[in-house]
Amino acid sequence: MFSSSALKKKKNSPSLSKDDFNILDSYITIEGRKYHNIDGLGYPLPCDESEASRLIILHFIFRLIFGGNFSSPVSDLLSAGGMTVLDIGCGPGAWVSENCKNYPKSTFIGLDIISANFPSEKFPNAAFIQCNVLDGIPFPANTFDFIHQRGLLRAFTSKDWRNVIDEICRVLKLGGRVEFLEKDLKFINMGPIMKTFSDAMFMESAENDINPYVIHKLDEFLKDTGKIENIETIEKIAPIGSWGGRLGELIFRNLFNSLNGLRGKLLPILDISIEKYDSLLNQLEEDVNKNHTSYRLVRIFGQKKLDHAAYQINP
């Protein structure tokens, strides 16, 4: 339906002024929103305060849908204390902030490529570090008891996923737990407006070599390491719009804000004016309610094998 040719991109790219660039800052501003400007990073969402607020609300939505901040059986161990926990791509740190308060005897580290949105509140048992996880996790082998990662679907190619999972296996202790939460980019019951945005998001992913179906590959990636066992998956449906009650309304507002944030990236793909984009966005609520649109959320979690044979290097 839409062409992503270089010509179209050029013609309809949101206008950039000289002031929009500050490569020393690693940020770029497009249509008033701040994005990462880091070589080789395809991650399309903004990294400004408004995106941080959206992510904090999404944190509460996820917790409500899954009935907790994680599904791995680690709660008792975290309460007992002495556990070391890593949250990869922590964003504004809502997951770390909440868990470090819930489990004051364990230690939590949040890691993100952007530090600007780290919480200003200081916690005695939490720290945040700025790091590109694609350069490796800056900790020695066998450091963490639990590693959590959520919402990095749009940040990694399939090859990146395998590399990050290898790194996770390296820094996870024997018997340690790993858990991912990702959204299936394929929406359920799409009307024409949702389909327009969905097609554009798929094209944006393809341009950055992101596999939007990677969520269905995570189990395979974990198994392929030969180091993770007891893998389990939990799926939940997130209704979008008031047809799904108060929760659906919150999810709709969050998706609306996310599409607002993606505007700078999707406009050149859709090849439409800003006014048309906003008009489509304003028709989205009716579209999702009429069609009972939803998306799938998947938590996948497992445990690093205790079996030392799994770590022997073949001669």
Ligand X SMILES: C[S@@+](CC[C@H](N)C(=O)[O-])C[C@H]1O[C@@H](n2cnc3c(N)ncnc32)[C@H](O)[C@@H]1O
150 binds ligand X (CB under 6 A): yes
Shortest Å, Cβ 165 to ligand X: 14
90 binds ligand X (CB under 6 A): yes
86 binds ligand X (CB under 6 A): no
Q: Which residue do the tokens 């205790």 mark?
A: 306
244 binds ligand X (CB under 6 A): no
151 binds ligand X (CB under 6 A): yes
178 binds ligand X (CB under 6 A): no
Q: What is the DSSP string of the chain?
A: -----HHHHHHHSPP--GGGEEGGGTEEEETTEEEE--TT----SB-SHHHHHHHHHHHHHHHHHHTSS--SS-HHHHHHS--EEEEET-TT-HHHHHHHHH-TTSEEEEEES--TTS-SS--TTEEEEE--GGG--SS-TT-EEEEEEES-TTT--HHHHHHHHHHHHHHEEEEEEEEEEEE-SS-BS--HHHHHHHHHHHHHHHHTT--TTGGGTHHHHHHHTS-EEEEEEEEEEEE-SGGGHHHHHHHHHHHHHHHHHTHHHHHHHHT--HHHHHHHHHHHHHHHHHHT-EEEEEEEEEEE---GGGGPPP-
Nearer to ligand X, 89 or 241 (CB): 89
Shortest Å, Cβ 62 to ligand X: 7
Please report, as residue ranges, which positions from 23 to 62 form the binding site for ligand X (by CB under 6 A). 43, 45, 47, 55, 59
Q: Which of 30, 74, 96, 114 forms a contact with ligand X (CB under 6 A)?
A: 114
| Count of residues engaged in binding ligand X, rule: CB under 6 A | 20
Shortest Å, Cβ 286 to ligand X: 27
Q: Which of these ranges, 73-81, 112-120, 247-255, 279-287, lies near ligand X under the rule CB under 6 A? A: 112-120
Shortest Å, Cβ 235 to ligand X: 18
113 binds ligand X (CB under 6 A): yes
91 binds ligand X (CB under 6 A): yes
Q: Which of these ranges, 3-11, 96-104, 144-152, 170-178, lies near ligand X under the rule CB under 6 A? A: 144-152
Could you list the residues that contact ligand X (CB under 6 A)?
43, 45, 47, 55, 59, 89-91, 94-95, 112-114, 132-134, 150-152, 155
